[in-house]
C-alpha cells in the first residue's frame, strides 16, 4: 500500500504527497496548487520531490507546479488536452505513468466533466481523482455535460471496492448534508454524517474514502437507485427518463444547496 499524506492548502484543498516505495528520499505530489506548503512538508519528512502529477488546469491545482518543478527538477505530468503553466508530459486516458526508479506506476483515466481534459491517476490500490469525485459528492460541471460526468463517474465506480479515493478537497460534510436531503432513508449516509460531523468538529481529515463506501453514500454514484431517482423526480416535478437525467437534476440541485 502507498504511503500518502495530505498537505493542506488554501481553505480546503489537499495536495497529496506520495512517498516513493522504491526511493528512500523520493516523493511525488498531486495537484500542487501552492508550492510553499509542499516545500515545508518535504523538509519535515526529509524528502525530495521527483515528480508532479496534475489532474486538471484549475489554478488551485497548478499554482505551485512551476516553482516546485524548477526547485526540485521534478518531472511534471498532466492532461494532454489542457494547458498548464509549465511544460509537462502530456497524458491521455489509457496511458501509463511509469516511474520505475520510484517504484510507482499509475494508469491514466480520462474523466471529463468538471473540466473537459480532466484526468485521474489509478495505481497501487489508490485513485487520485482531483475534482471529479469527492467523498459523498462530485465536482461542478464547469466545462462538461452531465452525460460526460456520469460516464466518468461510472468508470471510476467500476474500480474495486477497496480502492482508496484521494479527492482534492475537504467537502465531505457539506456533501453528506446534501446526500441526506436526497436520501433521507439511507442509513449509511446518516451514520457517516454523524461520524464526519464529529471528525470535522476537531478539524480531522475525512479522506481517503473507499469506492465501496462511496457507492453506498454518494448520490452521484447512485443515480440508478430507485430512491435517488424518486428524489430527482420529486425535485423536477416530472418523470425522469435516464440516469443522466437523474444526475443532471441532482447536480443542479446541489449547485444551489445550502
Ligand atoms: Zn477544479
Closest CA to 155 of 180, 191, 186, 119: 119
Tell me how far the alpha carbon of residue 171 lies from the centroid of ligand 1, in angstroms. 13
* 108 class by beta-carbon count within 10 Å (0-12 exposed, 13-18 middle, 19+ buried): buried
* 107 class by beta-carbon count within 10 Å (0-12 exposed, 13-18 middle, 19+ buried): middle
Tell me how far the alpha carbon of residue 130 lies from the centroid of ligand 1, in angstroms. 7
Q: Tell me how many degrees the CA angle 137-158-257 measures, rounded to the nearest 5.
A: 10
Render pLDDT for 100-109 as a digit per residue (tens, 0 to 9). Answer: 999 999 999 9
* Across 156-177, average pLDDT: 98
Tell me how far the alpha carbon of residue 166 lies from the centroid of ligand 1, in angstroms. 14
Tell me how far the alpha carbon of residue 33 lies from the centroid of ligand 1, in angstroms. 10
Q: Are 112 and 118 in contact (CB under 8 A)?
A: yes
Tell me how far the alpha carbon of residue 101 lies from the centroid of ligand 1, in angstroms. 30
Cα separation values, 142 from 81, 113, 149, Å = 15, 7, 11
Render pLDDT for 120-146 as a digit per residue (tens, 0 to 9). Answer: 999 999 999 999 999 999 999 999 999
Strand partners for 97: 106
Tell me how far the alpha carbon of residue 24 lies from the centroid of ligand 1, in angstroms. 32
Render pLDDT for 18-57 as a digit per residue (tens, 0 to 9). Answer: 999 999 999 999 999 999 999 999 999 999 999 999 999 9
Tell me how far the alpha carbon of residue 239 lies from the centroid of ligand 1, in angstroms. 32
Question: Cell digits for 176?
Answer: 453528506
Amino acid at each position: 500500500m502507498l504511503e500518502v499524506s495530505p498537505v493542506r492548502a488554501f481553505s480546503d484543498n489537499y495536495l497529496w504527497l506520495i512517498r516513493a516505495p522504491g526511493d528512500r528520499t523520493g516523493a511525488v505530489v498531486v495537484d500542487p496548487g501552492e508550492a510553499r506548503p509542499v516545500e515545508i512538508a518535504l523538509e519535515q519528512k526529509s524528502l525530495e520531490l521527483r515528480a508532479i502529477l496534475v489532474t486538471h488546469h484549475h489554478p488551485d491545482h497548478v499554482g505551485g507546479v512551476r516553482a516546485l518543478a524548477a526547485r526540485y527538477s521534478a518531472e511534471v505530468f498532466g492532461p494532454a488536452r489542457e494547458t498548464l503553466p509549465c511544460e509537462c508530459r502530456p497524458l491521455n486516458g489509457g496511458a501509463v505513468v511509469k516511474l520505475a526508479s520510484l517504484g510507482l506506476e499509475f494508469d491514466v483515466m480520462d474523466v471529463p466533466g468538471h473540466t473537459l481534459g480532466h484526468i485521474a491517476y489509478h495505481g497501487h490500490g489508490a485513485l487520485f481523482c482531483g475534482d471529479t469525485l469527492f467523498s459523498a459528492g462530485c465536482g461542478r460541471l464547469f466545462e462538461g455535460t452531465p452525460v460526460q460526468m456520469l460516464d466518468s463517474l461510472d468508470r471510476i465506480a467500476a474500480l474495486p471496492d477497496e480502492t482508496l479515493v484521494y479527492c482534492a478537497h475537504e467537502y465531505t460534510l457539506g456533501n453528506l448534508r446534501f446526500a441526506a436531503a436526497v436520501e433521507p432513508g439511507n442509513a449509511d449516509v446518516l451514520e457517516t454524517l454523524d461520524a464526519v460531523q464529529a471528525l470535522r468538529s476537531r478539524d480531522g481529515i475525512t479522506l481517503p474514502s473507499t469506492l465501496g463506501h462511496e457507492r453506498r453514500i454518494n448520490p452521484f454514484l447512485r443515480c440508478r437507485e430507485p430512491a435517488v431517482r424518486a428524489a430527482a423526480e420529486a425535485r423536477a416535478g416530472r418523470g425522469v427518463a435516464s440516469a443522466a437525467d437523474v444526475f443532471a437534476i441532482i447536480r443542479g440541485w446541489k449547485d444551489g444547496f445550502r
